Structure 1
Amino acid sequence: MTRVSTAANYQSALLDLMSAQTRAQEAQERVSTQKVATDLTGFGRSSEALTALKSAQSRIQGFMDTGDAVAARLSAQDLAFERVAQGADRARQAIADALASGRVDGLMLELQGHFQIAKEGLNTKHQGQYLFGGGNVGDAPVQVGTLAELSLTAGADVFANGTLKQVSRLDEGTTVETGFLADEVGEALFEVFRQIQNFHAVTPVTGQPDQAMKDFLTERLKEFDEQYQAITNQAALNGSLQNRVESVLKSQEAQKTSLDELVAGRTDADLAQALTDLELSQVAIQASAQVINQLRQVSLLNFLN
């Protein structure tokens, strides 16, 4: 005769209930997190490959963050170059208009305004730092405020920028020089302004110009045009750097998308399967609970009563 132990039946039913509850909890976590597991232990043998993929993701994201910062800086530099070139071009145009009209009244006042535009361009800030400051990003690169000050200041004292140009690392093997220095951009342009101010100090630029003044201003007009072209060329170099950074960012975005898909393939849960497992585990819990409840009615003590 086979003996049946009530305690053994209870233990077996309880183990089934606990197992079903564990399966339900795991399925619920997959549904709520939409992930196969919440830590590397849950991924088993694939955890090592997953760690490598996550590391690659972080590395590329770091380069992308740097690229975004570089792109923003280059965009700000483009606007700054536009201001400096505008100062040179408008100064040239002011002289041309004055010579064409045969009167230079107010020319020096106009040139003062255009000098201010160029100076503001060279003193442009980005995220609290001077773009053309070199290593000295806390002080304004251009230290003079007027043409009179420019005339009285030695050339080396006009600019306070450092000599360290901004260098940016775009990816594992690409490092580019993205910075420009105020003195390299504006020194020759400011020299043209200085020559006019020095001439004005000896021969006031006003009224109807004589031939000597016409010849002098004509030469300065040509020099302003040359400086406009030189600054435009530097702006074009800045634009080529913008294109390069944009190209690198697009490539990195494609790499990151590919890595995201690989990681998702290993970590994302099959929601349909997870929901099915959750429903089945809940049914198993109910069944185990019913078995335990029934076992209460089949105790030997009930028969003895």
Structure 2
Amino acid sequence: MVTRVTTSGNYSAVLTNLLAAQQRQADAGDRVSTQRNGQNLKDYAKSSELLTAMRTVQTRVGVFQDQNSLIADRLANQDASLVRVADAAQSIRERMADAIASGRVDGLVEDIQAQMNIAVDSMNASYSGKYLFAGGQVDTKPVTASTLADLTVPPAVIADFFKNDDFKVKAKLDDATSVTAGVLADDIGTDLLTALQTFQTFNQGPNGPFTGAMTNAQKTFLEGQLASWNTIRADVTLIAAQNGTNQKRVDDVATDLEARQTSLTIMLGDITDANMAQASADLEQASLSVQSSAYVFQTLKSSSLINFLR
């Protein structure tokens, strides 16, 4: 059998090789320039379902990361406020102990008022324009008492000074972990304001006011108050510790989410990211093929079977 050799057949074969080499060159060039194996899911037909699923998971993890960042900031602000309330309770206790030791109560009322201001301001702390300890009433200041005198104005019911409701913020940290991040002002300050009310009632009573040298009645009263302030400080510190436990859980989940995000990024990269060494080699090889095919095509143009038949 004799294979027919024609000029048109040779042109067709060489042109086909040239176009194929140019396509390989373009594909390799795209991989080198974009560092990707494709531009859309169509280019990853064999792995499209896997890529879609992985990107869905990656988006979900990203949402959890954003939410956890907000929760972590909230908990950090709550911690700072709770520590200030506990410190204020400790300072009141120390000021009373100092007065007992010195036998004088000069400035005692003013010092306790200053610590009350710190405690109330801390319970009225806000984050992103919303009150932290107000429950669901985020636009309403949770503690309305501002002075010792407020605490003894009839009917002077301590619960009336708190405007928070019972709602506590809960957050889902990931698919399996949730925390109760909210703390309520009345949980923090009911005992504190009650003790301050007791102090102010005594200060306004027949054995007051607290000025100058301490009387026996005042000494007995203050000595009886020390244990209460120890308990108040301890209780607020316990709430702060529980808040700290939630901070630790958020940090642990954040670390896990970061690891999952990194793993997903690597897995996606294994599918979508080009092997640059291979892509560069393919580009070089395709460029040589284009040059060779072009040279053959150019040579064929200057030759003809007619020249051999003459």
TM-score over 0.5 for the alignment? yes
Tell me the residue number matched to 1:223. 228
Is the 2:82–2:122 Cα contact (8 Å) retained in structure 1? yes
Tell me the residue number matched to 1:141. 142
Shift of 1:201: 2.2
Is the 1:30–1:36 Cα contact (8 Å) retained in structure 2? yes
Tell me the residue number matched to 2:298. 293
**Counterpart of 1:144 in 2: which secondary structure?**
coil
What is the rounded CA distance, in whole Å, between the counterparts of 1:209 and 1:2 in structure 2?
126
Report matched runs for 1:216-295 at 5 Å: 216-295=221-300
Tell me the residue number matched to 2:91. 90
Which of 275-284 and 144-153 deviates more?
A: 144-153
Tell me the residue number matched to 2:70. 69
Superimposed CA distance per residue, residues 177-213 of structure 1 (whole angstroms, 9 cap, x where no aligned partner): 1110011111110111122122222321111122222
Is the 1:86–1:117 Cα contact (8 Å) retained in structure 2? no
Which of 125-134 and 230-239 deviates more?
A: 125-134
Is the 1:81–1:121 Cα contact (8 Å) retained in structure 2? yes
State whether structure 2 residue 179 is matched by structure 1 residue 176: yes
Shift of 1:288: 2.6
Superimposed CA distance per residue, residues 20-42 of structure 1 (whole angstroms, 9 cap, x where no aligned partner): 22212211221122222222222
Report matched runs for 1:40-189 at 5 Å: 40-152=41-153, 154-189=157-192
Which amino acid is 2:173 matched to? L
What is the rounded CA distance, in whole Å, between the counterparts of 1:198 and 1:272 in structure 2?
83
Unmatched 5+ residue regions in structure 1? none
Shift of 1:166: 0.8
Shift of 1:147: 1.8
What is the percent sequence identity of the aligned residues?
Answer: 41
Is the 2:54–2:268 Cα contact (8 Å) retained in structure 1? yes
Shift of 1:114: 0.4
What is the rounded CA distance, in whole Å, between the counterparts of 1:41 and 1:259 in structure 2?
21
Which amino acid is 1:160 matched to? K
Which of 158-167 and 141-150 deviates more?
A: 141-150
Which amino acid is 1:106 matched to? G
Is the 2:113–2:148 Cα contact (8 Å) retained in structure 1? yes
What is the rounded CA distance, in whole Å, between the counterparts of 2:234 and 2:257 in structure 1?
35
What is the rounded CA distance, in whole Å, between the counterparts of 1:39 and 1:26 in structure 2?
14
Which of 257-266 and 85-94 deviates more?
A: 257-266
**Counterpart of 1:171 in 2: which secondary structure?**
coil
Which amino acid is 1:241 matched to? N
Superposition CA RMSD, Å? 2.4
What is the rounded CA distance, in whole Å, between the counterparts of 1:107 and 1:116 in structure 2?
14
Which amino acid is 1:229 matched to? A
Shift of 1:302: 8.6
What is the rounded CA distance, in whole Å, between the counterparts of 1:155 and 1:124 in structure 2?
20
Shift of 1:101: 0.6
What is the rounded CA distance, in whole Å, between the counterparts of 1:77 and 1:7 in structure 2?
84
Superimposed CA distance per residue, residues 101-157 of structure 1 (whole angstroms, 9 cap, x where no aligned partner): 111011010001100111121122222222111111122222232222233254233
Tell me the residue number matched to 1:37. 38
Shift of 1:70: 1.7
TM-score by length of 1: 0.91
What is the rounded CA distance, in whole Å, between the counterparts of 1:72 and 1:196 in structure 2?
36
What is the rounded CA distance, in whole Å, between the counterparts of 1:281 and 1:126 in structure 2?
60
What is the rounded CA distance, in whole Å, between the counterparts of 2:189 and 2:265 in structure 1?
46
Which of 227-236 and 148-157 deviates more?
A: 148-157
Change (3 A) 1:150 1:295: farther
Shift of 1:8: 4.4
**Counterpart of 2:172 in 1: which secondary structure?**
strand
Which of 282-291 and 69-78 deviates more?
A: 282-291
Tell me the residue number matched to 2:194. 191
Shift of 1:271: 0.9
